[in-house]
């Protein structure tokens, strides 16, 4: 039996871009084609592979497990090709060390990093995730830091990225109960925490509600665990839109009430080393553009 013809390179490129952005529309803009063309390429690829690569949701798409594995390997392959091209052109690969807290890295930064690698294949990123502070210039070239509301702004070479607000979220159900539009509906749920309870106390105070002490509570040491528990219907968490937008768009999480409470702000801290200045500037400009695109909407 003759070997099967490999999939179309155009179809592979369309899928990789759509998987990286989780949007056929954004992939079409990147590739300078129509959204319909991206959709046709992806469906042709799915037929060729005999596997569904995406789940089509209302106003959103998400990768299936085979699609996620395929996207990771395909993305690495395209990046290798790009680096090979840059190598032939004589562009040297340069490393940039980045420090970020685990929640920011996993829920916001990593899903977007593919775009930076595509635009800057000559920059090799080294991402360290830790809640411990790192010395910028010695341990990292760039550090993304969360500063709680009311805390002093960091010193040095600093760029503001975005502010964070918390709004109650829980597992989405359809139809959404009318009472969920009221803040008081929060008291029907177990409160999920990723701190000592101060965030929820602030929210109850901002909403003008009593009942925090009488509520049921479940404490975690990691933000992502609290959100995962909320998504599975184990209670209600204070979610930041910038971190949970995929779950909201896919209909896995839903807002309850309308009161928001300030969490804090994210800043980018830079070293002053001349050797990495061009790479730092490229990453900082890209990060600022991504932060502006994901700015929290004015209402749930």
User: What's the fold here for domain 164-263?
Assistant: D-Maltodextrin-Binding Protein; domain 2 (3.40.190)
What tens digit of pLDDT does each residue of 119-172 get?
888 888 999 987 776 778 788 899 999 888 777 877 778 899 998 899 999 999
Report pLDDT for 246.
85
| Distance in Å from the first CA to the final CA of the chain | 57
Provide the 3-class DSSP secondary structure of residue 239.
Answer: strand
Among positive and negative, which fits the CA dihedral 277, 283, 289, 291?
A: negative
The CATH code that applies to domain 1-90 is 1.10.10.10
What is the pTM for the complete model shown?
0.70
Element (H, E) at 268: strand 261-270
Dump pLDDT digits (tens) for 39-53. 999 999 999 999 999
Residue that is written with structure tokens 């999920």 in the block:
192
For residues 156 and 288, the answer to whether their CB atoms sit within 8 Å is: no
pLDDT for position 91: 62
| pLDDT value of position 297 | 47
Number of residues that this document lists for the chain: 300
Cα–Cα distance, 272 to 157 (Å, whole number): 8
Using the Cα atoms of residue 260, residue 293, residue 158 and residue 117 in order, give the sign of their dihedral. Answer: positive
- Residue 296: per-residue pLDDT: 45
Angle at 86 between CA 80 and CA 92, to 5 degrees: 105
Split at pLDDT 50, 70, 90, the class of 295 is: low
Residue ranges of domains in the chain:
1-90, 164-263
């Amino acid at each position: 039996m003759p070997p099967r013809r490999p999939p179309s390179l155009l179809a592979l490129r369309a899928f990789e871009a759509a998987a990286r952005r989780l949007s056929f529309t954004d992939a079409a803009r990147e590739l300078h084609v129509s959204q319909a063309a991206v959709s046709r390429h992806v469906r042709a690829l799915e037929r060729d592979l005999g596997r569904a690569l995406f789940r089509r949701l209302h106003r959103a798409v998400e990768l299936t497990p085979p699609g996620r594995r395929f996207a990771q390997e395909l993305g690495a392959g395209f990046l290798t090709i790009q680096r090979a091209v840059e190598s032939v052109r004589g562009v040297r690969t340069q490393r940039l060390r980045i420090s970020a807290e685990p929640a920011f890295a996993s829920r916001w930064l990593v899903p977007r990093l593919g775009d930076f690698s595509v635009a800057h294949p000559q920059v090799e990123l080294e991402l360290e995730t830790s809640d411990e502070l790192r010395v910028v210039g010695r341990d990292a070239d760039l550090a993304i830091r969360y500063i709680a509301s009311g805390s002093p702004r960091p010193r040095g070479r600093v760029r503001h990225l975005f502010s964070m607000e918390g709004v109650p979220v829980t597992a989405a159900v359809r139809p959404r109960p009318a009472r969920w539009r009221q803040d008081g509906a929060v008291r029907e749920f177990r409160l999920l925490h990723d701190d000592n309870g101060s965030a929820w106390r602030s929210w109850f105070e901002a909403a003008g509600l009593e009942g925090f002490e009488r509520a049921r509570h479940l404490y975690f040491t990691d933000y992502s665990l609290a959100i995962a528990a909320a998504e599975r219907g184990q209670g209600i968490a204070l979610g930041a839109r910038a971190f949970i937008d995929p779950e909201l768009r896919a209909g896995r999480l839903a807002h309850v009430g309308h009161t928001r409470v300030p969490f804090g702000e994210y800043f980018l801290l830079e070293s002053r080393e001349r050797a990495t200045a061009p790479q730092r500037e490229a990453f900082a400009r890209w990060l600022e553009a991504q932060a502006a695109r994901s700015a929290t909407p004015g209402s749930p």
